[in-house]
With several copies, the nearest count.
Chain A
Amino acid sequence: MISSSVSITAFVVHSIAQTAVDKEREFGDLDAVVGDGDFGFSLARGFEIVLQEWDALDRSTPSVFLQKVALVIAGRIGGTSGPIWGTAFLRAAAAVKDKEQLTGADVVAMLRAAIEGIKMRGKADLGDKTLLDALVPATDALEAELIAGTDAQRALERAAVVARASADATTSMQARRGRASYTGERSIGSPDPGAVAVAVILERLAAEWSLS
């Protein structure tokens, strides 16, 4: 079991980063369907840098740590994903400013802040066929489980299941934001790469949590 909130935060970020690096090809191929195929490459190159600079990242508080990660992401990931993911990490950091220990409610607050940041940055909303369509329902599920008193492992597993189902459900949506939106109705029939990435990240996180 992780001993402090900074360590837990670092564990989560490390898991996300490793997923981005490992799944480069899969994410890229998803983006090739109605996008331009760079999603996997962009995420991988950025999170690669996070991993390279891993030991040097300031760990004073979870917030400071997340802010450092956010700067690398926003500054070094290209494409739409750089600003979107960077804003998400930045807002999550701001949501728990000065806190040393994070509660379940803090985690939900961070996710909600990240979601608001993505909506603002991308002028996007639920139903536009973006990563929001997996991230929002997964956050809802996580919150519901935590309120119901479920333990972290179970709550994470539940969030991952919901994220996967939601990502799958983006298949029938028509994209209204991002590059896929140019294709109009032809965007229907394949899932949104960003939404799938959210599901894959949560699945891996849930799997690794039990081993941690």
Chain B
Amino acid sequence: MKKFVNDPKQYVPEMLKGIALANPDKLRYVPEYNLIMRADGPNPNKVSIIQGSGSGHEPAHVMTVGRGMLDAACPGDVFAAPPMDYVYETTKLMASPKGVLLLVNNYTGDRMAFEMAQEMSAAEGINVKTLFIDDDVAVQDSTYTVGRRGVAGNFFVMKAVGAASEAGADLDELIRIGEKVDSVTRTMGIALTSCTPPAKGSPLFEIGDDEIEVGVGIHGEPGRRRAKLTTADEMTDELLDAVVGDLPYRAGDRVALMINGLGGTPISELYILYGRAHEQLRQRGIEVGRSYVGEYCTSLDMAGASLTLVKLDDEIERLLEAPAEIAARVF
């Protein structure tokens, strides 16, 4: 395993400590609950927004805490939903008179932990609601499954509700906005390699030198199918077809286009994918209003990328445009 690791069990706590040290004025780390919170939170004049999930997806979500996005993030261990206690304690700590919004990617473990924590917090009189994000078109919904997975599209939900809450929106309004953004957000990813969880110390799955996993999950879960490695253009087109095909689009529609790196793919390659996707959208008469290229929701060191489209309207575009200040920053 070629990683910068000390004790794999300390992987997450050491990362969180680093985040807090790098942002001493802005962020606070509460080791007992893996909690990263705004140093000035909770703010009684705004709804507190909390996202939790397994770790290994950084910058999501521990590096997206800050003005205009999350008030706190409460991560579990690598690829493991946070224990219910952590969510519960985080909710109590961040409780605001305006309420608490829990953002949860749609996975069984995450749903359970957050639903149980919500019940317990509500019992203590905290006004808390939960919003599930499920943007992945790779796995089809059916009565037998637990619904679609939440992947990189969660960035847009976070960003939109973050901006709205900063502007004073109440909890119901945030739920409305978050559900709306989620409903127009679609993502699909491709893995070129596996990732290596630090505690496992070896790749999570086997994949041939000429193979890709189409529709891979951000925890290295298998996707739609194994296919042969092909050109950047062909892979982009496959992702785009799947994502565009999942919502009714009309010529003249405006979208946000995100090419998200899964961790091991350099940004130069992401821009190659971006260029192709942008041009193909243009050919379909769809206009890119906002663009996002980089790492937003990763799968440790996996080489690969996902493509997200958000169908824009004026309200969503305005919320996405609003400024924010988070740990994942350049300057």
Give the B-binding residues of A (Cβ under 8 A).
25, 28-29, 32-38, 41-42, 45-46, 74-84, 86, 121-122, 176-184, 186
Question: What's the dominant secondary structure at chain B's contact region?
Answer: loop
Flag if B217 contacts A79 (CB, 8 Å). Answer: no
The answer, yes or no, to whether B4 is at the interface (CB within 8 Å) is no
Q: Closest CB-CB distance, A88 to chain B, in whole Å?
A: 13
A179 cross-chain contacts in B, Cβ below 8 A:
107-109, 217, 219, 221
Give the residues from 104 to 141 in chain B that come closer than 8 angstroms, CB to CB, to chain A.
Answer: 107-109, 112-113, 116, 138-140
Flag if B79 contacts A37 (CB, 8 Å). Answer: yes
Distance in angstroms between the alpha carbons of A122 and B146 in the assembled complex = 10
Flag if A178 contacts B77 (CB, 8 Å). Answer: no
Q: Which of B21-29, B160-168, B199-207 contacts A (4 or more CB under 8 A)?
A: B199-207
A181 cross-chain contacts in B, Cβ below 8 A:
144-146
Flag if B80 contacts A78 (CB, 8 Å). Answer: yes
Flag if A28 contacts B200 (CB, 8 Å). Answer: yes
Give the A-binding residues of B (Cβ under 8 A).
9, 54, 76-85, 88, 107-109, 112-113, 116, 138-140, 144-146, 149, 197, 199-200, 204-205, 217, 219-223
Distance in angstroms between the alpha carbons of A197 and B148 in the assembled complex = 27
Flag if A41 contacts B80 (CB, 8 Å). Answer: yes
Q: Closest CB-CB distance, A26 to chain B, in whole Å?
A: 12
Flag if A74 contacts B84 (CB, 8 Å). Answer: yes
Given A41-B80, A42-B80, A75-B84, decide whether A36 and B204 contact each other with a Cβ distance below 8 A: yes
Flag if A41 contacts B84 (CB, 8 Å). Answer: no
Distance in angstroms between the alpha carbons of A46 and B76 in the assembled complex = 12
Chain B's closest residue to A71 (CB) is B85
Distance in angstroms between the alpha carbons of A28 and B204 in the assembled complex = 10
Question: What's the dominant secondary structure at chain A's contact region?
Answer: helix
B217 cross-chain contacts in A, Cβ below 8 A:
36, 179, 182
Given A32-B200, A86-B84, decide whether A78 and B54 contact each other with a Cβ distance below 8 A: yes
Distance in angstroms between the alpha carbons of A38 and B138 in the assembled complex = 22
Chain B's closest residue to A124 (CB) is B108
What are 16 residue pairs bridging A and B, where the CB atoms are less than 8 Å apart in the complex? Answer: A29-B200, A35-B219, A35-B221, A36-B54, A38-B80, A38-B219, A79-B109, A82-B81, A82-B84, A82-B109, A121-B112, A176-B144, A179-B108, A179-B217, A182-B138, A183-B221
A79 cross-chain contacts in B, Cβ below 8 A:
54, 76, 79-81, 109
Given A28-B199, A178-B108, A181-B146, decide whether A37 and B81 contact each other with a Cβ distance below 8 A: no
Chain A's closest residue to B138 (CB) is A182
Closest 7 CB pairs of A and B: A75-B85, A78-B80, A36-B219, A80-B109, A83-B112, A78-B76, A79-B80
